[in-house]
Structure 1
Amino acid sequence: MPDHIPGHIPYGHGEFEGRTVLVTGAGQGIGAAVTEAFAGLGARVAATDLGASGIDRLAGTHPSVTAYAMDVTDRHSVDDIVAKAESDLGPLDVLVNVAGILRTSPAAQLSDQDWADTFAVNTTGVFHTSRAVAARMTRRGSGCIVTVGSNAAGIPRTGMAAYAASKAAAAMFTKCLGLEVARDGIRCNVVAPGSTDTAMQRGLWSDEHAHRRVIDGDPATYRTGIPLGRIAEPHDIADAVLFLASDRARHITLQELCVDGGATLR
């Protein structure tokens, strides 16, 4: 068998060597896993978050990670940090939108503030960062944007109306953007996780049996279980992001990759 097959992209430790990646919400959970995964494959990573502790830890552990405090709800903060990251690290090749919050409440009792805060981070934050980075990618004629959404964007969830609606809006924005910039060589895709073992997920657990109910399902909340019988770990989501950001996904755009162990049955 030949060592190299035309069109085939070999796996390797330095798959993202020489590339620059910006990750939002990098301080913990999925964002931290994404940051570490890219750094482990040779990328220079701008790790951004509202708080400094998590991203400073990553920067202290991985020499190729640089921490930047950034508020995705503030377009001036986003524009300034995107410009600084490119000045410090080089042109951005990949943007990964991970920053998100979850406020739970029955829909009819949801406060104006919780609704506004949820959309400010989960939707407007994606808009701010994607707009700032896409404008630069368009001028260069290349780039990749991956938005980490949620399987809740495609299936109703009790107590999660604001979160689900905000994630659905972010996903559709990402796809519309992708349609507009495709001819400029930019790919835009969505990774939609299901239940993942993060601080956000554990914040929903009220007792020692909650973990099992997530896997088995909960008829009282109209929720199916997880056919694969396990809750995802952050690196499971990071692996999907890496694939969509890689050259092996060079002909994939406007897509939503659901990573939920089959929970949405689609």
Structure 2
Amino acid sequence: MIQEFSGKTVLVSGAARGQGAAHALRFAEAGASVVVSDLRDDLGEGVVEQIRMKGGQAVYQHLDVRDGGDWDTAVARAESVFGGLDILINNAGVVACEPVDTCTDDTWNNVMQTNAAGVFQGMRAAVPAMRRRGGGAIVNTASMMGLVGSWGYAAYIASKFAVVGLTKSAALTYAADNIRVNAVAPGCVDTPMLDEEKKIMATNPYWDFDEWVANQPISTIAQPEEVSELVLFLASGRARYCTGGVYPIDGGSTAG
């Protein structure tokens, strides 16, 4: 296998399971040194062990993406252990489905602090380190719900629209530093978060999950590894002319 990311260091948030774990494993396969970060320490250490068993390089770093100090520590760990930071994958997120009139302050604040402020904090911590490396690539995880509206999901949709805006602003701001910033906008992906969301949907009179999937242009669920391939492309030199883009990977759900 081509070691496309040999000599590169990547920091992946929310990497203990689901899409984040898939991204971390795939980057390691492609030769990157990986900082696996999450709140779920045991699961995160397990991802590191998987990478090392396959001959890759990785360390685990506890990270609450809502905490700027945690971000500074994670970036410093990447620099101290692997010599620098080249790639940031802002993947951590939470989901909630509550309309505006019933969304509590706690729900709103947690979703916005995790999904939107977490991306902001991550980029703020990573940019100086990438400048020290002469450039880098950032891939933020938005959502198809950062491109269209939906019943309920008030905080979640607001947070993902914020990720899209942050991505575009950062792309314009840091292009002169040779730092590219893009976002992926996944739809229905087979992860533990989807299992949580299906439970939420079951209580929502406006959503029928199976019917929704069946009505997509590509009427199936994506696997996390499929999202990883897009993420790796955007982080790679093959995407050198891509910045400020938001790339749906949603079975065509937002095409019409």
Please give the TM-score of this superposition, normalised by the length of structure 2. Answer: 0.92
Match of 2:137 in 1: 144
The corresponding residue for 1:60 is 49
Where do residues 10-159 of structure 1 align in structure 2 (5 Å cutoff)? 12-63=1-52, 64-159=57-152
State which drifts further: 85-94 or 116-125.
85-94
Partner Cα distance (1:213, 1:44) in 2: 41
Distance 2:45 2:129 in 1: 26
Partner of 2:225: 235
Equivalent position of 1:219 in the other structure? none
- For residues 162 and 190 of structure 2, what CA distance do their matches in structure 1 show? 24
State the one-letter code of the partner of 1:46. Answer: V
1:184-211 deviation per Cα after TM superposition (whole angstroms, max 9, x unaligned): 111000000011111111222246x965
Paired residue for 2:250?
260
1:157-236 mapped onto 2 (5 Å cutoff): 157-206=150-199, 212-216=210-214, 225-236=215-226
Decide whether the 8 Å contact of 1:195 with 1:214 is kept in 2. no
Q: CA deviation at 1:154?
A: 1.2
Amino acid at match of 2:42: S
Q: Which runs of 4+ in 1 moved over 6 A?
A: none
- For the aligned residues, what is the CA RMSD? 1.5
Indicate the SS of the match to 2:248: strand
Do the aligned residues in 1 keep the contact of 2:16 with 2:44 (CA within 8 Å)? yes
Distance, in Å, in 2 between the alignment partners of 1:13 and 1:140 is 23
TM-score, normalised on structure 1?
Answer: 0.89
State the alpha-carbon separation in 2 of the partners of residues 24 and 79 from structure 1: 13
Unaligned runs of at least 5 residues, structure 2: none
Give SS of 1:100's match. Answer: coil
Aligned pair count reads 246
Equivalent position amino acid for 2:46 in 1: R
**Residues 96-128 of structure 1, C-alpha deviations (whole Å, 9 max, x = no match):** 000000122122100001000001100111111
* Matching residue's letter, 2:196: G
Cα contact 2:75–2:129 (8 A) shared by 1: no
In structure 1, C-alpha distance between the alignment counterparts of 2:209 and 2:103, rounded to whole Å: 25
Report the AA paired with residue 141 of structure 1. G
